[in-house]
Structure 1
Amino acid sequence: MTMQIRFVGPLGKVTGSCTWMRDETRGWSFLVDCGMQQGEPTADQWNAGDEWPFDPKTIRFVILTHAHVDHCGLIPELYKRGFEGTVYCTEETKELAELLLGDAAKQQDTSFELKDVERIHFHTPGGTTKFGDYHPVADDLFIRFFRSGHILGSVSATILWGDPKSEQTSIVFSGDIGPGREDQEVAPFSRHLMHPAPADFAVVESTYGDRTRPPEETDPVNRRSRLAEAMDRAMKTGGTLAIPAFSTARTQDVLFDIHFVVASNPERYSGMDFILASPLAEKVNEITVKALSKVGPQGNRGKVRPLWLGKQVFRDLGLDKDDPDHFDHAHNLCKQALCAAPATPIPNEPPGNAISAQWRSLFRVDKKGANDVELAQAGPRVAVMSSGMCDAGPAIRWLPDLLKSADNEVALTGYCAPGSIGNKLQELAPVPNSERRKLRDNLSWKQPDGPSLPRRDIKASISTLSGYSAHADQAELVDWVVHEFPQGSGSRQTMASKKVFIQHGHNRARKGLSEAIQKKATAHGLWIETGMPEEPSGWITLDPAR
């Protein structure tokens, strides 16, 4: 058998994940991810599907690592152009992808329609999400999933081919890797990643391959302190703290943190109002609540562990992760944070710390839309809204009015692509109002009948709440490739592979990650070959002997 790989994207880019693999002698032709490009110079051509090097009719299946649209966003276009195969992923990725793709189909610049989304045949190997199991997808062709810690449902995927009784070859795709590690988790909900078994080849993302975050940025205590300071400013001015956030993962993390801050000092925030203006996030909340309740056996040790609920939730709330009653209580508090009533009554004397005891549901949901809400009403209040880059959704209705008042603050929660409204607001952050009055252009939303606001009239403070990134930095990416497992009084090193392809990042980030991998490998007396395929990569034969 001769397996080949072609990196269709992204090479020298961050969005538009798509890798093509084939074995012509076996008739195998399949993709790992098929995502939209977002904010890239080639986005229009790629997203139209006219420059794909493959014929969708000949693709047998797709392995999907997670539900972000830069990984799954063009799967409906595959079906529209003749693909009839299966999309293999976790249950949670299926549910989120159906939701996000359905929402994308409603946007004016999307080439596919809702009917194309409804044609997708998602399938979770084994019928339910399991990690590490071998799942056959063809004769002598198998896949394995390992949690990647990025967002709910996200996995690294290992592909194995050959006779299991003799000699198999394997390649592992990192997918997008989340920050932190076991017992050093960063995000409020994400459970730590799992290190896949070593493979003959590895493909690793490099979004932040040239950057290592300072500890104060990744420390949850500091992150919540920054959030509390923004809430305190709204309490002082009586205005609105507007928090635009991505509907998937980011909004859920922000909601948990706000509940944590309030429960830490309920009297301080007793006069504050809390609004969730994100219909899409409401649906993601429902999926998240269901997923956080899931548990399963872990390996052969007879242990039953949560699939997605991280240990940090138990630490934050002073709960015992091994106590079933504490697990139920932790899940109920998560449900309250995500705007869902608890399934079971909260005990009069709940377990956990003082924060657990003071926890209460805070948010009311903006059902009618901000046009029916008195935007100028007296605060103080917090409004969490979509979209994260401020270009669409409720942000279009809320921000034009909120930006006019110096009592208000817009706190961005993550990366905003060049040209987005969020990016333009970030540019204004250091500019005082007296200087903004000299501006003569408008802030315009590129939506049908989208509003326009003279930039000179923007008086609200603009800030960024750092610490919510769902991507690993350089040190964490290197740790995925070369990991040290504690063993007795020392440790042992394991490698994802001796042959590593670096994609999903700008060339500077890819180069920085390659150098960091080589440095760590050398320090441990290991040999690793790293490659940075160019675009287009052409076919590369996966021969372990080479």
Structure 2
Amino acid sequence: MQVTFIGGADGVTGSCTLLTDDRIGVRALVDCGAYAERPAGIPDGAPRLPFDARLLDFVVLTHAHRDHCGRLPQLHRAGFRGPVYCTDATAWMTRLALLDAAKFSREYDASDVEMIDFHTVDRWPDFSFDIPLRLHGLAITFHRSAHILGAVSATIGWRSRVGVARAITFSGDIGGNTPDNPYQSLLAGQSLPPSVDYMVVESTRGAEPARGPEYKSFDARIQAWADLLVDSDARGGGPVIAPCFAIHRAQELWFDLDTVLRVTGAGSPDAFGRPRWLSLDAPLDARMTEVYAAALADRLGPAGAPAYRNPDMAARLGLADEAAVDDYLGALWRRVADNKAPGGTLRAMQDETLSRVIALAGSGMCEGGRIVDFIADQITNPAATIVLCGYAPPTTGAGRLRAYLGGEWPEGMALPLGNVRLDTSRIRARIVDFGDYYSGHGDLDALQRFVFDPAGPEAGPRVPATVFLNHGEAESRIALARTLRTRADANAPDDRTLARVILPTGGQRFDLDSPDQRRENMAPRRRRLSG
């Protein structure tokens, strides 16, 4: 078995890893993501695929974010006709996201999206998380990753050339929720992979210190929102504007803010009779919410336990049982469609009687969409509040707002926000950073837990794992490698043992059946899969 790092090895986008084994006749991808920015040397359009898509047998898709699924239509256009294995929620959200992106793509159209052959493993009667499935002569196991709804890590097992059982785990994107502390509202905690020979681990937050305990507390997060709304009312009760991603962040914010308004009394009318109300103003966000409504009610197994839902939800909401949670969530998601102002949210912000709106809208990075109009309209309003709730590279609108908030934006320089340029001398709205409360990527503690805490009983001696770090900027990968090596050297008795930590580069190939994991270079865009 050989693994080749196609994308995601040199940054946080374009995740795509190729597995090939001509002996057992397997050619497969784990993820096939789009690039947020065009890599160097590609003059126009999306990067060409550095393999013959017609020879691929299947794809394992870890989740529905475009940096993991965005080139699936391009793969189909290039001749791939095999199955894409993923969860049901991932299939639905991937289809919605790619159909939306197809409106603006030069690389594919809606017909390529519609032809993707999703095989939703969690709909199979014999499916369970953390239990292997036999597919294409391999043992493939799916583990909840708690990143977004339906997101998984995947372990792939095979027999080596000499008949030895080997396995490699692909982390996908690792969330923060654990079984002991599912502090983010919607999802159950992640499940960990077993002892394996190889791990491919994301490193998005690898250079950052672990987040403080206040950012890993449901109660602290709800209180932070309550305090923010009290401050907003003290400053005149203007609009609260939160840029959010269509997948997961919009639904998580809706749940949290509905909880704040219901539990703390922050939704009561003010002294002038004006209500505090929620609005989700983005068509794609609303369609994704329909998927959440269905999937968070799903049950798995004979016991009928919720497949993805946070097990602490009933207690946090003061409800008797899971059936009551079903009813609560049904009403909650219906309010997404019901909470609409005549004339739209922007007009409501300008209407004194409706201006206490909490407006959620995309894009989360403030590179376009209605959120840019909302912020541009309210940035000079001292009663308005803008809340940054997620990851944003410094080259995006949200990243620039975060730089301005931190005093890192050059004084007097206009701040680009989508197609708008903000005059920073006229900014009067309060800007608040809640990003650490809502990061969908696990912090340094979560990354170490994933690497060092193997799940399940150990049968015989542990095999030291070789860890490949991808999906991170160079600084993050280097810092995480240093952290992992230092901890591995300590030889803690309960830790997974590590053989090596490797930082692969794009196009690098490793022989997983060789004792020394022999590496080869593969010239991107030229090397083809052999027949």
TM-score band w.r.t. shorter chain: 0.7 to 0.9
Cα gap change, 1:366 to 1:537, in 2 (>3 Å)? farther
Question: Offset of 1:180 from its aligned partner?
Answer: 3.0
Alignment of 1:75-474 (within 5 A): 75-107=72-104, 111-125=107-121, 127-128=123-124, 130-138=128-136, 140-162=137-159, 167-211=164-208, 212-236=210-234, 237-266=236-265, 269-270=268-269, 271-297=275-301, 303-319=303-319, 326-340=321-335, 364-365=339-340, 369-370=344-345, 373=348, 375-378=350-353, 379-429=355-405, 439=412, 441=414, 443=416, 445-446=418-419, 451-466=420-435, 467-474=437-444
1:484-503, CA deviations, whole angstroms, 9 ceiling, x for partnerless residues? 7799xxx9999796222111
Q: Which residue of the partner structure matches residue 63 of structure 1?
A: 60
The CA deviation at 1:76 is 0.7
Change (3 A) 1:430 1:493: farther
1:536 to partner: Cα distance: 2.9
Residue aligning to 1:35: 33
SS of 1:204 mapped into structure 2 = strand
Q: 1:219 to 1:486 in 2, by over 3 A?
A: farther
Q: C-alpha deviations, 1:243-279, integer Å up to 9, x for none?
A: 1111111111111111111222226633313222121
The C-alpha deviation readout for 1:474-524, integer Å capped at 9, x for no partner, is 11111112227799xxx9999796222111112332233233333444342
Whole-Å Cα distance in 1 between the matches of residues 207 and 461 of structure 2?
22
Residue 154 of structure 1: how far off its partner (Å): 0.5
Which SS does the other structure have where 2:381 is aligned?
A: coil
Residue 21 of structure 1 deviates from its aligned partner by 1.0
What is the percentage of aligned positions where both structures have the same residue?
A: 29
CA distance in 2, matches of 1:374, 1:484: 51
1:515 aligns with 2:482: yes
- Alignment pair present for 1:72 and 2:69: yes
Shift in CA distance, 234/96, structure 1 to aligned 2, threshold 3 Å: same
Render the CA deviation track for 1:92-151: whole Å, top value 9, x for unaligned.
1001100111111123x553221211111111237446313433332x223221111111
Residues 115, 253 of structure 1: CA spacing in aligned structure 2 closer, same or farther, 3 A cutoff? same
Q: TM-score, normalised by structure 2?
A: 0.86
Structure 1 spans left out of the alignment, 5+ residues: 321-325, 341-360
The 1-side partners of 2:329 and 2:460 are apart by 36
Deviating more after overlay: 454-463 vs 364-373: 364-373
Give the unaligned 5+ runs of structure 2.
Answer: 270-274, 517-531
Equivalent pairs, count: 500
Are the equivalent residues in 1 in contact too, given 2:144–2:151 (CA < 8 A)? yes
SS of aligned partner of 1:411: strand
Give the CA deviation at 1:430.
5.1
- 1:226 and 1:278 map into 2 onto residues whose CA distance is 25
Q: 1:500 and 2:467 equivalent? A: yes
TM-score, structure 1 normalization: 0.83
In structure 2, relative to structure 1, the CA distance for the partners of 1:203 and 1:100 (3 Å cut) is same
The 1-side partners of 2:347 and 2:98 are apart by: 28
SS in 2 for 1:539: strand
Structure 1 distance, partners of 2:243, 2:461, is: 40
Query: Which contiguous aligned blocks of 4+ residues in structure 1 show a shift greater than 4 angstroms?
Result: 39-47, 366-374, 484-487, 491-497
